[in-house]
Structure 1
């Protein structure tokens, strides 16, 4: 996607966040189900850039014991399956707004549990030791919704839990700003990879 196309893409989703939370959720479900009418529309399972990003993300994770791990916006479960292999003793959960994506995620791995959920209105009452949210927050839209999404991500963490956010750079600085300002979260590391065609940041926090 060109820089201009990506800007138009972001502007479109900011406009969609003018809808009510329910309306925005309905739109996003239909949007991602449409994309997932064919398998792996973004080539998450085969693209070298994605594999590099996954590797850098995992390198940034503190070496701690993790019993329960959540991936927010898991799509077809490519990274979820990687997590299940990397942390074989942990309970792995993936959530996504697309039912079509989750059907393929369940076929990809039986080592994880998948839940149809919207980040802004998820029903999860569980708490996790490690939460990943990558390439997702720019779909949330305006500042009010982004603040709500960041609060919900922090709320999913158990005491001492780790939150990992991964988004394009320099846009990540804006997308991660509410997590940066959350007093319940302490920054652990912030790595920026500018050596790819699409720079990205991996930002890690720990719940105090």
Structure 2
């Protein structure tokens, strides 16, 4: 994760608060999650990968649309909360991984990159784009959700989204599904 926000930054945030972004209590987050699910182009997915799943608030909602979801994060404390939140749901599992270096094996028809890209370096965004190219099943979707306001990451949310979209393999179809003052939602599908 060269040049990316270091894991120690997130460890500090989660030690100070179990929900540092109020993901489970914020009306804004609830509305954004609803918009995220509404923007998905398919009603159902077989296998989803959620990068940066945090405490599992979006993961829990994805479970209503996916047969299986793998949530990954590199903060074990967040994953403990995610596992407890989603213990009642079948088909969900959580793993501690540093993305992109520890990209999971397997293929997915949905790869969710929500509120994580602007914490990564340009190099890591390019690596994630390459992983998406090899891990996305035919007809699958890569979804990007990015905060557009000030953040404590490495770049603005718009720059992060555009950097990743431009780094995807040639022939991918990309479209913006929502562009609000607070956040943007982008979709990409392989050839």
TM-score tier by shorter-chain length is 0.7 to 0.9
Aligned length: 179
Alpha-carbon distance in 1 for matches of 2:148, 2:137 = 28
Paired residue for 2:12, among 6, 10, 34? 34
Question: Displacement, 1:113?
Answer: 0.2
The residue matched to 2:45 in structure 1 has which SS? coil
Structure showing the higher helix proportion among its residues: 1
Deviations for 1:81-112, whole angstroms, at most 9, x for unmatched residues?
Answer: 1111x22x611110001011101111111221
Larger Rg belongs to = 1
Which residue of structure 2 lines up, in the alignment, with residue 191 of structure 1? Answer: 178
Q: Which runs of 5+ in 1 are unaligned?
A: 1-15, 19-23
User: Could you tell which deviates more after superposition, 176-185 or 125-134?
Assistant: 176-185
Bigger drift between 177-186 and 125-134 goes to 177-186
- The answer on 1:114 being equivalent to 2:94 is yes
Question: Does 2:91 match 1:91?
Answer: no
SS of alignment partner, residue 191 of structure 1: strand
Per the TM alignment, residue 64 of structure 1 is displaced from its structure 2 partner at its CA by 4.5
**CA separation in 1, counterparts of 2:43 and 2:61?**
17
Q: CA deviation at 1:178?
A: 3.5
Cα pair 1:97 1:118 within 8 Å, conserved? yes
Segments of structure 2 that go 5 or more residues without pairing to the other structure are 150-155
The residue aligned with 1:69 is 48
Question: Is it true that 1:180 corresponds to 2:165 in the alignment?
Answer: yes
Match of 2:109 in 1: 129
- Note the alpha carbon deviations across 1:49-81, whole angstroms, 9 max, x for none: 111111111111102441001111000101101
TM-score, length-scaled by structure 2 = 0.84
Alignment partners' CA distance in 2, 1:169 and 1:57: 15
Matched-pair contact (CA < 8 Å) for 1:127–1:157: yes
> Does the Cα contact within 8 Å between 1:150 and 1:178 map onto a contact in 2?
no
